[in-house]
Amino acid sequence: MPELTVDGRRVEVEAGVTVAAALTNAGVEHLRVSATGQARGPLCVMGTCFECRVAIDGQPHRRACLEVVRDGMVISTAPNPKPQTDDRSLSSRLVCDVAVVGAGPAGIAAGCRAAEAGASTVVLDEGDVAGGQIYRHRPPNAPEAIRPWLTRLDRSGARRMGGASVFDAWREREEIRLLAETSGGALAVSARRLVLATGARELFLPFPGWTLPGVLGAGGAQALWKSGANLRGRRAVVAGSGPLLLPVAASLTKAGAAVALVAEQASLASLAGFGASLARAPSKILEAMRHRRGFAKTPYRTGQWVAKALGTERLEGVVVTDGVAANEIACDLLAAGYGLVPNVELAILLGCAMRGGAVAVDARQRSSLDGVLCAGEPCGVAGVEVALAEGEIAGLAAAGQSDPESERRLGRVRARGRRLAARMHSAFRLRTELRALASADVLVCRCEDVAVGAVAGCASAREAKLSSRAGMGACQGRVCGPALRFLFGWDSDTVRPPARPARIGHLAVFEDVSKE
């Protein structure tokens, strides 16, 4: 078994788990200290929130949820030290016909179809293992649903590069240029076509106590378990909104946690109407029933939400309300999420037209920018089937190929899925009472510890950023931006490079590459 040194203590861990899971299993819950000295633990467990940053082998600001354990790792949760080196050298370059950013369902499908059509194809992803968040797994145990696609990707000839975080993108003459940060240094990619399959992230809404260690996103809690965390014996509450709550509750129960309550903020009438609309999609009804059986002994309550998380150093309980009465529940794990937000930062950085918070695309998944296509959640959250269909369409188009019969079939899958998604978004619309939970002293920007009261008088996200630093932290507004939009109706500020935090030495590579 691999052995780690954690804050001077030697710890044996299971092979293949993430650092975040290993630390959880070792009883380490405080992974970093915030700007004002608050203890923080994992939140999204997807690489978005940067709350799980630790120092690994002397390198600061490593996201524990994305790093797989290696024997001999030295991990420190103390305030991050200065980097040992800051090498600005460009470690590698790639030239290809098609670059795909994201290795979830849409990215895998796009990479397969592009490579099978004869295009030299590179698939870049932050995760070490393909599958994205929906098919997150510990190697070699990929979920059965994604195994055929992973085998197909390996045989297609596409090159997959895990651990590659794309932080800049621009169009230069007839090429799309990308810069990515990898464990080996900066990577420059030049491609004739680009497919953005960047997925989505959870929507988090602020409420008292939401920064306590033990409070995770709904998907974050599931991801922590999938990445190797032992949750047996934990007492959990699952809350928020959307169909994701069902598989999360089932997963936590399977993991051995005692799920005390699943609280859905949408009303029973809304859910009943949505359920009736699924008469033409019986497979969705069966899927929901299967998940519900997974936590059959746990009450599922509609029209209820978490009003407060209780505790001092970590989560000790929650207060759940229906707007009239309140109920206190003891727990040490809260999985709370309010749906998903498309990851569109790279698309905005490139200048792609947007529509309703998603990338605007045509019938072949082409964006408004020549050479840039988009598939899956960045086009609007609609589920796995739609992501796979759009990925296939985008891969064919990116390779310059056409398969009319296949595209008609995939187009029908896309249209059917998008209609269902529209009904789902309507049924799980967030109630206005959730805005009132964020009182003036509740933090809205977790990276910079900015309270709601510090931005309440601002007129825009940009003004809030300039006056309080809200959105200027490591997550670059990915957590607080959507929350501020919900609370105040503000559109997110403009996206500037780097689209993801990167080392200064790697940022300097842009100047070298742009002069070529």
- Range name among 2-6, 61-65, 279-283, 411-415 with the lowest pLDDT average: 279-283
Answer yes or no: do 247 and 268 share one domain: yes
Q: What is the pLDDT of residue 407?
A: 95
Q: Is 182 within 8 Å of 359 (Cβ atoms)?
A: no
The residue segments making up the domain with residue 475 are 438-488
Answer yes or no: do 212 and 325 share one domain: yes
Instruction: Provide the angle, in degrees to the nearest 10, between the axes of the packed helices 404-427 and 384-398.
Output: 140
CB atoms inside a 10 Å sphere around CB 39: 17
Distance CA 498, CA 316 (A): 38
Answer yes or no: do 274 and 125 share one domain: no
Answer yes or no: do 388 and 474 share one domain: no
Is residue 513 in a domain? no
For residue 234, give both structure tokens. 């934990």
Answer yes or no: do 63 and 30 share one domain: yes
Mean pLDDT of 23-39: 94
Q: What is the pLDDT of residue 474?
A: 92
CB atoms inside a 10 Å sphere around CB 232: 9
Is residue 85 in a domain? no
In this predicted model, what pLDDT tens digit does every residue of 206-247 receive, in sequence order? Answer: 999 999 999 999 999 999 999 999 999 999 999 999 999 999
Answer yes or no: do 9 and 109 share one domain: no
| List of residues 6+ apart from 429 with CB closer than 8 A | 266, 270
Mean pLDDT of 145-172: 94
Q: What is the pLDDT of residue 84?
A: 53
Q: What is the band of 145 on the pLDDT scale with cuts at 50, 70, 90?
A: confident
CB atoms inside a 10 Å sphere around CB 385: 15
Distance CA 347, CA 375 (A): 11
Angle at CA 455, nearest 5°, toward 62 and 447? 5
Answer yes or no: do 146 and 174 share one domain: yes
Distance CA 362, CA 366 (A): 5
| 505: pLDDT strictly greater than 80 | no
Name the residue among 418, 428, 425, 359 with its Cα closest to residue 386.
Answer: 418
Q: What is the pLDDT of residue 512?
A: 61
pLDDT > 90: percent of the chain: 85
CB atoms inside a 10 Å sphere around CB 260: 19
Is residue 116 in a domain? yes
Among 302, 337, 372, give the residue marking a domain's end: 337
Q: What is the pLDDT of residue 516?
A: 60
In this predicted model, what pLDDT tens digit does every residue of 285-326 receive, in sequence order? Answer: 999 999 999 999 999 999 999 999 999 999 999 999 999 999
| 81: pLDDT strictly greater than 70 | no
Mean pLDDT of 38-49: 95
**Summary mean pLDDT of the chain:** 93
Query: How many domains is the chain built from?
Result: 4
Q: What is the band of 80 on the pLDDT scale with cuts at 50, 70, 90?
A: low
Answer yes or no: do 263 and 309 share one domain: yes
Q: What is the pLDDT of residue 270?
A: 97
Is residue 502 in a domain? no
CB atoms inside a 10 Å sphere around CB 333: 21
Q: What is the band of 515 on the pLDDT scale with cuts at 50, 70, 90?
A: low
Among 14, 47, 76, give the residue marking a domain's end: 76
Is residue 505 in a domain? no
Give the CB-side neighbour count of residue 108, counting CA atoms within 13 A. Answer: 26
Is residue 243 in a domain? yes
Answer yes or no: do 220 and 328 share one domain: yes
Answer yes or no: do 314 and 246 share one domain: yes
Reported pTM: 0.94
Three-state secondary structure call for residue 108: helix
Answer yes or no: do 232 and 353 share one domain: no
Q: What is the pLDDT of residue 421?
A: 95
Answer yes or no: do 177 and 195 share one domain: yes
Name the residue among 52, 51, 24, 38 with its Cα closest to residue 313.
Answer: 38
For residue 511, give both structure tokens. 């100047």
Mean pLDDT of 341-356: 96
CATH code for the domain of 12: 3.10.20.30
Q: What is the pLDDT of residue 492?
A: 77
| 510: pLDDT strictly greater than 80 | no
Q: What is the pLDDT of residue 59?
A: 87
pLDDT > 70: percent of the chain: 96
CATH code for the domain of 126: 3.50.50.60
Q: Which helix (H) or strand (E) holds 317?
A: strand 315-321
In this predicted model, what pLDDT tens digit does every residue of 360-399 receive, in sequence order? Answer: 999 999 999 999 999 999 999 999 999 999 999 999 999 9
Is residue 396 in a domain? yes
Q: What is the band of 83 on the pLDDT scale with cuts at 50, 70, 90?
A: low
Is residue 507 in a domain? no
CB atoms inside a 10 Å sphere around CB 144: 8
Is 30 or 500 the better-scoring residue by pLDDT?
Answer: 30
Among 378, 404, 425, give the residue marking a domain's end: 425
Distance CA 491, CA 494 (A): 9
| 88: pLDDT strictly greater than 80 | no
